[in-house]
Amino acid sequence: MNLNHKWTLQLSALAALLVGALLLTAACGGEGEEAYEVAQTHEDHDSAPSAVVAGEHSEAGLAGEKLFAANCIQCHGEDAMGTGQGPPLVHSIYEPGHHSNASFVIAVARGVRAHHWDFGNMPAVPSLEIDEIHQVICYVRELQLANGIIDEVPTSTPC
């Protein structure tokens, strides 16, 4: 490999890293975070529901409800209302424009560092397969729809 070609490859790699960093910064930071009044403690989440409307569920949503009960209810509570252990998912913080379906997949598959609440970090849930995670997402999105958090279930949700 000649020196000129090696130099071009290094510059291309550096440019790709820079573009990736800029895209990541644009996607993760800035005004989106400021657009939310974020409750920092479980005592302070007055925008959390005191009751959740169950609403209609698709076949995938019904399967997700069972998976949620077996894997998530301990922390996120019945009907995803939240508990002293974890935040409510029927909350505007978790609308698709702020927490996409992909962010739910990553949180379940890898765990997630606490960033909106003081409940602590969420551990991964390794017992759930990707299709099961999607069913849980359907359940949560359908609850959000029934409770006015979202106007429609995103087309990216496999319900």
Mean pLDDT on 35-49:
44
Going from the C-alpha of 148 to that of each of 131, 135, 136, 142, 145, the distances in angstroms are 26, 20, 18, 10, 5
Main-chain dihedrals φ then ψ at residue 26, nearest 5 degrees: -65, -40
pLDDT tens, position by position, 106-135: 999 999 999 889 899 999 999 999 999 999
Mean pLDDT value of segment 45-52: 60
Please report the pLDDT score of residue 50 as a whole number: 64
CATH of domain 40-146: 1.10.760.10
Structure tokens belonging to residue 51:
């009751």
Mean pLDDT of 71-92: 94
